Structure 1
Amino acid sequence: MGTISAYETAAGKRYRVRYRKPDHSQTDKRGFKTKRSAELFLASTEVRKATGEYIDAQAAKVTISTFGAEWLRTQTHLKASSYNVVETAWRVHVQPVWGPRQLGEIRHTDVQAWVSELSAKKSPTVVLRAYGILAAMIDVAVRDRRLPSNPARGVNLPRKVGKQRHYLTHGQVQILADESRHNATLVLLLAYTGLRWGEAVGLRVNNLDLARRRVLVQSNAVRVGGHIVIGSPKGYEMRSVPFPAFLEALLTEQIAGKQRNQLVFGDGNIYLATPTHGDGWFAGARKRARLTDSSIPVGLTLHDLRHTAASLAISAGANVKAVQRMLGHASAAMTLDTYADLFDDDLDAVAVALDIAKTRSDALP
């Protein structure tokens, strides 16, 4: 229990409350005009300590810059590529604005004004990422009992509009592969297995089971800060992905003369760099392919080949669980949410089946 003592000031007698914080360090609060008010403060403080609701006002005086640096050091669970995105957003958008401010000085209206201003200049993706970092940091401060609540929560945020997905037909995939020249097999593999770019270029010869026509996805080669970083696949789970029979001969040719631990694509030793969107080999292949088939989208990306794989699999009759496992989604619900537009035919089939059932029912005596 704390103590209360009186002291004299120019304005008259005042009271000081001296007590221990939950970490057992001693502190005090001065300036109470009556002993009764000092006693009430001490009693309420002891109750908050006992119930775990005590907030250390001094701990809220740390700056966002200092607290943010500590928070970043704890993000060891993030992959290198994800950490790089978070660190960049912190350094570019969060720290310059909030760095000098103390945790206890942040107000809900200030955060809303910042989000609104940033939204006028940047895309929803950038805004949501920057806001998410600030809010996540303050969540930790609340759990540390530095603040009673998070003033960043509950602000109005911009809506993220999903990028348009492009789906190629079998014929269009072949045209694109032909125009990709020495990268033709890579393009076909992406379009018929749904592998991500980093998963495909990270494949080694011993990841191919040509007899069973399976690709074992064990790693992901991602460029971070100009360097290739090898990590686990997205979701941290390895998966076995089937490939169609026509790819067997092409993959056999691709790995001819290579050792089991060498890379499938490229020279076997150096990871292929992601082609630049505007003038890389994929952009050139897309441009040439459009001369043959102008319906091939101008904005087609490498990631659209993953979407194409989902589309071709579904149109071939694959169920959502099979597509989920092929793509490495966390759940079938995620696959459905992502590719709901590809299951429209299933909805039509439901309506047809119900109509047939109703007709049969009406015909019964």
Structure 2
Amino acid sequence: MKGMARVWIDDLWLKNDDGVPPPPQAKRSLAACRDPMRAQVDERWRSSRYGRGRRWRCRWYTVEGTTRRQHSQSFAKLADAEAFRAAMEDDVRRGRYASPHDAKRRFRDVADMWLRSKNNVSEGVRLRYECELRVYVNPRWSDVPIGAITHDDIARWVASLATGDYPAELHRGRAAKPLSPRSVKSIVKVVFAGVLEYAVKARYLMENPARDVEVPRPEYKDLVFLNVPEIEQLARSAEVIGRPVDGLIIRFQSYVGTRINESFALQVGDLDLTNRQIRIRRTWKNSASKQRLGPPKSGKPRTVAIPKFLVKPLREQIKGQPETAYVFRSAKGGHVNDHNWRRRVWHKAVELAGLQDVEGLTPHSLRHSYAAIAIKAGADVKILQRQMGHTSASLTLDVYGFLFPERLGQVADAVDAEVTAALVSRRG
């Protein structure tokens, strides 16, 4: 903080008399007595606050713009005041100091700053942040000074989110209900903690009290996979319900593994069917009012491979179309809206294929099915990461690592063979 040089410690109980400080014996007597009124301190050395409240005050100044502000904190013991001064001056030297004035900022004001700073998120993510702030976060924290938020306060709030006993701004007077662990994690660890982390970076706070708060662990749910016969049955059903292109969409999702709005954003110029490669350059982003094109989820383009049996139907699909035409087109020639396609084709095709009892089956399940097929065929984690557009191999392993169990046995067998061969060689 500009203008802050040092911290002073004031004795609020003793004073100078015409510039003459209290004698050492008066100070020793006061330090030795439990009751300051019984200490041998002459009246001339006693301040108007003698014996009342905390004796020691740390005092420091900051310059904020053109305003000079005084800050203070009181302590009962001199040792505590000296420790505070040492820590404060160390924070200043290391650039960690946060002004008490900034700590009085209301949470909602800092939340507005945080939201304005999110320049690299999609419109859909921004809308989710705004919704979670408005509905779940601000009703509890809006007017609370950020410096008054404690770890315990947050822990109690987290518990209330899980039980349904929390303040909320819900439409049409709906009552609050228990939130899922996944929702609690997003509200607390992404949005709420994100606001406080912004306050730390802006040096309004010295530390983020939400950083180490525990939230309920999300319940593990098995991913939904379809096998090849089920995929083919679903594709044929989609052709019956809709058009031939709808069956091609099912097969493309299942055997290429792109996200559905990446597929619907593909243009003819993105396909290199001779080399069986496709360039994923863009995706459709959903907002409350419309769809718009944006970069893929990872933020950068990637190249994916397609199996040979999809080349012929894709070539027929794009025949006679300009480079800028969409590969998968609606009946009127425009792009396919994923929400409309789910309602018009997907749900009906699932029922016709007899898959309506598969719990959790969505178009995204086809992407999971691709991963299972690719891993069974021998794809390693790095290749799968590139094909699916994950930001890291660790993310791919987090989602699909359990599909590699037999590899552990292969590694153990390889080590066994290597050691056995070495031991046999030595004996020979």
Q: Percent identity?
A: 29
Once the two structures are TM-superposed, the CA of residue 47 in structure 1 deviates from its matched residue by 6.4
Q: TM-score, structure 1 length as denominator?
A: 0.85
Once the two structures are TM-superposed, the CA of residue 51 in structure 1 deviates from its matched residue by 4.3
Alignment match, 1:240: 303
Alignment match, 1:285: 349
Task: Answer yes or no: is the 8 Å Cα contact 2:71–2:100 preserved in 1.
Answer: no
Q: d(CA) in 1 for partners of 2:249 and 2:152?
A: 51
Alignment match, 2:156: 113
Aligned to 2:269, which of 196, 199, 206?
206
Deviations 1:144-199 (A, max 9, x none): 33223222232221112343212222221111111111201011111011100110
Note the 1:67-86 alignment, pairs <5 A.
Answer: 67-86=110-129
Task: Answer yes or no: is the 8 Å Cα contact 2:267–2:327 preserved in 1.
Answer: yes
Deviations 1:209-257 (A, max 9, x none): 1111111100011211131121111111211111111111211222233
RMSD over aligned Cα atoms: 3.4
Q: 1:73 to 1:313 in 2, by over 3 A?
A: same
Alignment match, 1:305: 366
Q: d(CA) in 2 for partners of 1:326 and 1:78?
A: 23
Note the 1:169-318 alignment, pairs <5 A.
Answer: 169-181=227-239, 182=243, 183-267=246-330, 269-275=333-339, 279-290=343-354, 297-318=358-379
Alignment match, 1:350: 411
Alignment match, 1:26: 68
The higher-RCO structure (CA 8 Å, 6+ apart) is: 1
Q: d(CA) in 2 for partners of 1:30 and 1:312?
A: 66
Once the two structures are TM-superposed, the CA of residue 24 in structure 1 deviates from its matched residue by 6.0
Alignment match, 2:402: 341
Q: Which has the larger radius of gyration?
A: 2
Deviations 1:79-133 (A, max 9, x none): 2222222222112111121111111221211111111110221011111111121
Q: 1:252 to 1:279 in 2, by over 3 A?
A: same
| Structure 2: runs of 5 or more not aligned | 16-46, 51-56, 164-177
Aligned partner of 1:65: which letter? R
Q: d(CA) in 2 for partners of 1:173 and 1:31?
A: 69
Q: 1:24 to 1:52 in 2, by over 3 A?
A: farther
**Partner SS, residue 338 of structure 2:** coil
Q: Which moved more, 1:193-202 or 1:345-354?
A: 345-354
Q: Which moved more, 1:39-48 or 1:280-289?
A: 39-48
Q: d(CA) in 1 for partners of 2:231 and 2:237?
A: 10
Deviations 1:38-89 (A, max 9, x none): x989976766544434331111111111111111001112122222222221
Q: d(CA) in 2 for partners of 1:157 and 1:171?
A: 41
Alignment match, 1:100: 143
Q: TM-score, structure 2 length as denominator?
A: 0.73
